[in-house]
Amino acid sequence: MNIIMLGAPGTGKGTVSSILKEKLNIAHVSSGDIFRKFSNEDSELGKEIKSYIEKGNLVPDELTIKMIQERLKEKDVENGVILDGFPRTEAQAIALDKILEEEGKKVDLVIDLNSPKEEILDRIVTRRICPKCKAVYNTKLNKPKQEGICDICGSQLYQRDDDTVEKVENRIEVYKTQTKPLEEYYEKANKLMKIEVTEKTGTMAKEAAEQVIEKIKK
């Protein structure tokens, strides 16, 4: 089963992906995590990638597609994958269809998470991440047992450099102009499952993941 997670920053893609990974026993590939790893390296490529992430802009398609193509060759994705943060442009979506088709595979389901902007901003500035196991916490809604420390692996949590109000505003704009049109792309292909993640109805990442599991079981 190959699943795509669509959704603006802070809508819960990472958390839903982690739950689905456990329940469905398939790989979780986050393009943002791959790029963050590169951006920490002291190389020309690392510096180039960092310059895009820092501004909240997208890494160019050609580079992004190449990275994902390489990642999809690894053994752990054989049984299926949750793609979290990829594709983000129509060119990436078309390339992904082609990559999968060459392997006799396809995109099975696209989860499209949406949240009110004020909740996104609040969730992102309070988000804390484990650099080692990538677990995601929140200083308000999902606190670690010990402040600043990962419950799972004991590492020191950190706040992403691009998780500031100013940068998130840009990331949301980039999402609207470049990624939102993918809803139509996957709607036409009859693969889109829209979920509203909001405190207003109590549908948070956990409940969203439950809805996905229900749909898959049917």
Q: Is 132 one of the catalytic residues?
A: no
- In whole angstroms, how close is the CB of 57 to ligand AMP at the nearest point? 6
Is residue 10 at the binding interface for ligand AMP, with CB under 6 A as the rule? no
Partnered with residue 6 across adjacent β-strands are 112
Q: Is 36 one of the catalytic residues?
A: no
- In whole angstroms, how close is the CB of 178 to ligand AMP at the nearest point? 9
Judged by CB under 6 A, the number of residues near ligand AMP is 17
φ, ψ dihedrals at 7, nearest 5°: 140, 145
Is residue 35 at the binding interface for ligand AMP, with CB under 6 A as the rule? yes
> Residue 144, preceding bond cis, omega within 30 degrees?
no
Is residue 86 at the binding interface for ligand AMP, with CB under 6 A as the rule? yes
3-state helix/strand/coil string of the chain: CEEEEEECCCCCHHHHHHHHHHHHCCEEEEHHHHHHHHHCCCCHHHHHHHHHHHHCCCCCHHHHHHHHHHHCCCHHHCCCEEEECCCCCHHHHHHHHHHHHHCCCCCCEEEEEECCHHHHHHHHHCEEECCCCCCEEECCCECCCCCCECCCCCCECECCCCCCHHHHHHHHHHHHHHHCCHHHHHHHCCCEEEEECECCCCECHHHHHHHHHHHHHC
Judged by CB under 6 A, the stretch of 28-36, 102-110, 145-153, 199-207 that binds ligand AMP is 28-36
Judged by CB under 6 A, the stretch of 16-24, 31-39, 123-131, 183-191 that binds ligand AMP is 31-39
- In whole angstroms, how close is the CB of 149 to ligand AMP at the nearest point? 22
Q: Is 71 one of the catalytic residues?
A: no
Judged by CB under 6 A, the stretch of 49-57, 114-122, 126-134, 186-194 that binds ligand AMP is 49-57
Looking at beta carbons only, is 34 or 212 nearer to ligand AMP?
34
Is residue 171 at the binding interface for ligand AMP, with CB under 6 A as the rule? yes
Is residue 29 at the binding interface for ligand AMP, with CB under 6 A as the rule? no
Partnered with residue 83 across adjacent β-strands are 4, 29
Which residue in the set 3, 8, 53, 168 belongs to the binding site for ligand AMP (CB under 6 A)? 53
Q: Is 123 one of the catalytic residues?
A: no
**Tally of residues, the chain:** 218
Q: Which residues bind ligand AMP (CB under 6 A)?
A: 9, 31-32, 35, 52-53, 56-59, 64, 85-88, 92, 171
Catalytic residue positions, numbered: 13, 88, 127, 160, 171
